[in-house]
Amino acid sequence: MPLVPMRQVLDAAAAGSYGVGAFNVNNMEQIQAIMMAAKETQSPVIVQASRGARSYSDDSYLRHLMLAAVELNPDIPIVMHLDHGNSVDTCRSAIEQGFTSVMMDGSLMSDGKTVADFDYNVAVTSEVAKMAHDKGVSVEGELGCLGGIEDGHGANVDARAHLTDPDQAVEFVARTGVDALAVAIGTSHGAYKFTRKPDSDVLAMAIIEAIYKRLPNCHLVMHGSSSVPQELVEIINRYGGAMKPSFGVPVEEIQRGIAHGVRKINVDTDNRLAITGAIRKVFVEEPAEFDLRKYLTPARAAMAEVVKARMTAFGQAGHAGDIKPRTLEEQAALYR
């Protein structure tokens, strides 16, 4: 099975009323962990790399690791997605490297930090959508801004001050032609999202419901959606870490979003926590150990357990066989 366009996976998710986790990767072990979970749960999967990941790993390594994942898992539909592209050129380079989906985050200027205006966002996202659709590549846009910084990308703003306007979302989708829309509902990138368990005062799930009523055929995306499990934080701190108390997005709130049109859910921090805790544990319990396989193997397994739990909770488990793979050429013909 070839790498598939994200649009096909999200269309299937909409038809089946489930969500699909989009998991960030930087290296081989993370890709392996995702595929271990996908194979065990028989889930379609979105593997995504940020600009930071592309710089860290190099596109050529990432591309060949993804091709290995396809070769070793021929029955699993896999999307290779660019997370938070900051410019038309960034998205173009990802398409040239074989990504089957790109995100043009025009909510921020090309520095990845300065909040952009609506017209700029529409202009750059429209340009990317036309360029990508000509190649059969799917496009995600973003309207509104998340707080927090991740891989050097994100506005250092009050997340609730830049929530997505549902009426503006209708205009944005109509003018850009995006396949998926990331919405700002008060979440942030990173581990430190909320100082208490979030409720409607800090997590505006009602915005998702309002957008879904206006755009029932547009796939919505939740960014900053790691749940920051306290047991993972406790493992890190037990073995020498110093993480501050924080709360993430409860899984039940994500499930509420899935019931109202959320089809793609970004998860990164939870996987980092699992990996870090497992490595710290080995370093403390076996201080003489220096074989990286002895600590990366449990780290990979710990991440796979988190991914497996999310795939099950989001409802994508068991749906890998629902998708008959579509090539980019076939998808391009559909766009035309």
Identified catalytic residue from 58, 59, 83, 179: 83
Buried b (16+ CB within 10 A) or exposed e, 194-232: beeebeeebbbbebbebbbeebeebbbbbbbbbbbbeeb
Per-residue confidence (pLDDT) for residue 153, from 0 to 100: 53
- Once rounded to an integer, what is the mean pLDDT over residues 38-53? 97
Q: What are the extents of the domains in the chain?
A: 6-335
CATH of 6-335, one of 3.40.1550.10, 3.20.20.70, 3.40.50.1970, 3.40.50.150: 3.20.20.70
Residue 75 bears catalytic tag? no
For 83-129, the pLDDT digits (tens) are 999 999 999 999 999 999 999 999 999 998 899 999 999 999 999 99
Is the pLDDT at 334 greater than 70, yes or no?
A: yes
Dihedrals phi, psi of 124, to nearest 5 degrees: -75, -35
Kindly report the pTM of this predicted structure.
0.94
Strand partners, 194: 247
Per-residue confidence (pLDDT) for residue 193, from 0 to 100: 74
Q: Compute, in degrees rounded to 10, the torsion defined by CA atoms 209, 210, 214, 220.
A: -50
- d(CA 219, CA 16) in angstroms, rounded, equals 13
Strand partners, 140: 103, 180
CA angle (50, 56, 59) in 5-degree steps? 70
For 138-192, the pLDDT digits (tens) are 999 999 987 655 555 555 555 556 799 999 999 999 999 999 999 999 887 777 6
Per-residue confidence (pLDDT) for residue 150, from 0 to 100: 54
Residue 316: other Cβ atoms inside 10 A: 29
pLDDT classification of 137: cutoffs 50, 70, 90: very high
Helix, strand, coil share (%) of the chain residues, nearest 5: 50, 15, 35
Residue type, 262: V
